[in-house]
Amino acid sequence: MKLIIGLGNPGEKFQNNRSNIGFKILDVLANNNNIEIRTKKKKSLIGRGEFDGEDIVLLKPQTFTDLAGEAALYIASFLKIKPPDIVVIMDDFGLPLGKLVVEKGGNDYSHPAIKNLAIALKSPEFIRLRVGILGKTAGKLTRDKYVSSEFEPMEILQLISIINDAEAAVRSISSGDINEVIEKFKQ
């Protein structure tokens, strides 16, 4: 069983923020696999189903991105899912818009949610699907201001392709050799 966590912030006002790309990708995964993400448990929205023949749990933490570890720990503990079977879909301010990178483990905690997840799970050995959100409009905005901004109209057109590519990456992670997937989606 895999636990797939999409990072994002709850609430309508954050719905189209760059930092909510994890939620958007998780919604498409759910929709394409007839999984409803609506069960409320311990500060989370959860959906359970099957993905390419494997049982999966889709998790949208409702704790805000930087505190996602609390929700992840509860579900992972309850379902006895170990960190290597956890996939975190996250925004990455350091990657150009649409660039996908798959990594496993490590102690690069440049994203506050990753540090929080590693502490909560007592291990950094989960898989990360980093999705680039850095567009041409970043300018002189701080990281926090930029990730809280909405996608530009021209970028919204690209989102369909980005989300489809991310879904393909998650399929590869679920069904393939993780080392081959990392090699295919490296920085």
The full set of domain ranges for the chain reads 2-184
Please give the chain's pLDDT, 187 residues, in tens.
999 999 999 988 888 899 999 999 999 999 999 999 998 888 899 999 998 788 999 999 998 888 999 999 999 999 999 999 999 999 998 899 999 999 998 777 778 899 999 999 999 999 999 999 987 777 777 878 888 888 888 888 899 999 999 999 998 998 878 889 999 998 7
**Residues 6+ positions from 74 with CB-CB distance below 8 Å:** 41, 42, 43, 44
pLDDT value for 138: 72
Closest listed residue to residue 133, CA positions, set 155, 115, 116: 155
pLDDT value for 144: 81
pLDDT value for 27: 95
Say which CATH class 2-184 falls into: alpha beta
Q: Where are any strands of DSSP class E within the chain?
A: 2-6, 39-41, 44-51, 54-61, 86-96, 100-104, 127-134
Written as six digits, the tokens of 186 are 């490296």
Do 11 and 64 form a contact (C-beta atoms < 8 A)? no
Single pTM value for the model: 0.93
Sign of CA dihedral 9, 14, 20, 23: positive
